A and B are shown apart, each in its own frame.
Chain A
Amino acid sequence: MKELSVKFYLADSAYFTALRLVAGAVCSAHDIDVDTLEDFKVCVTESAIILKDCGFEKVNVTFSDDGGLCCSVEGEGGSPKESGNEFSLALISALVENCEIDRRGGIVGRVTLKI
């Protein structure tokens, strides 16, 4: 797998389940055990929810193979604002091997996860 992207409107909650299924399938393709897979799915969807809380309209989720499974969850459009998601971010960092949070003017704009 070079890269696989999923993009959807955050207001459409039905796609969160679709995102979880895609995340699960990508983990499966990487032979990741089911426990790590569950952590990863939760972190991917929770990252998207953080971006939704920040006021983004769409989310662009890109899975890639970068010496391990990597997932970039990036907000697009809307009217981004600061949101109190520090706790969610701290938990995500605790659940995945590597988590990078990109902020633009204090607003979380992208979460990158790596396992």
Chain B
Amino acid sequence: MTDERETDGLFREYKRTGDVSIRNKLVEHYMYIAEILAKKFSGRGVEYDDLYQVASEALIEGVEKFDPDLGNRFTTYITPTITGNIKNYFRDYSRSVRLPRRVYAAAAKVREATDEFYRTHGVKPTVKQLSEILGFEEELIIEALECRSPVSLDARVSSADGEDDAPLYDVVSDGGSAFESFEDNESLKTEIKKLDPTEQKVISLRFLQGKSQSEVGKILGVSQMFVSRAEKRIVEKLKEALL
């Protein structure tokens, strides 16, 4: 594949058929761009292999979304996309916390105690209260709050009404269908309209367009953690208004 017309033809065919073998052919053809960009950013505290993986994922996503009929060349389109993903990775990586093992062990207990306290008192505890409950030094609790442990998709989470719990995979957005029924709720629609434009944008991207917190963060130029906090605040506001 050397000719641009040939690759554009393949992009059109892939768009029409969704044939993964065509996608893979295109990814292989443009893999050199991922390699170049990963090399460009290596040696800055993140392993080349990790950067190469991030770049490759961005390339695959780019191939899947590219439309040659919009008038851009693929190389022009994909270079800033991959660069952006690598930069976001640096941003997230720089903020990822590498704390001692004992802190991670404490983190699980802190989370559990926080939830239990909230169930009992209806408010979140302070660090001092957690320290008294768990018998940990306050410093350890502050460090533990920095931990962001991965969660299993089988983990149980409470539903919005606080009654039944469900596996996480049941409540994670699946492309918007969950909120379509939500959208039918007139009172909810009214309350969403009362949110400021920023909050409405978060709601729209997260629930109507079904994007993950990381994706929303990338689109809006903020961290996943930031989206998470904002979303929590907005949902609380909506819940309060609807009660």
Contact = CB atoms under 8 A, between A and B. Distances in A.
B142 A28 contact: yes
Interface of B: 45, 90-91, 94-95, 97, 114, 123-128, 130, 138-139, 141-143, 145-146, 196, 198-199, 201-202, 220-223, 225-226, 229-230, 233-234
Interface residues of A, number: 31
A42 B230 CA distance: 10
Given A24-B142, A91-B230, A17 B222 contact: no
Given A13-B95, A14-B94, A34 B126 contact: yes
Main secondary structure on B side of the interface with A = helix
B143 A45 contact: no
A59 interface: no
A14 B223 CA distance: 16
A21 B143 contact: yes
A35 B110 CA distance: 13
29 contacts: A14-B94, A17-B146, A21-B142, A25-B139, A28-B126, A28-B127, A28-B138, A28-B142, A31-B128, A33-B123, A33-B126, A34-B124, A34-B125, A34-B127, A34-B145, A37-B127, A39-B233, A42-B229, A45-B95, A46-B223, A46-B226, A84-B221, A87-B198, A87-B220, A87-B222, A90-B198, A91-B202, A91-B226, A95-B233
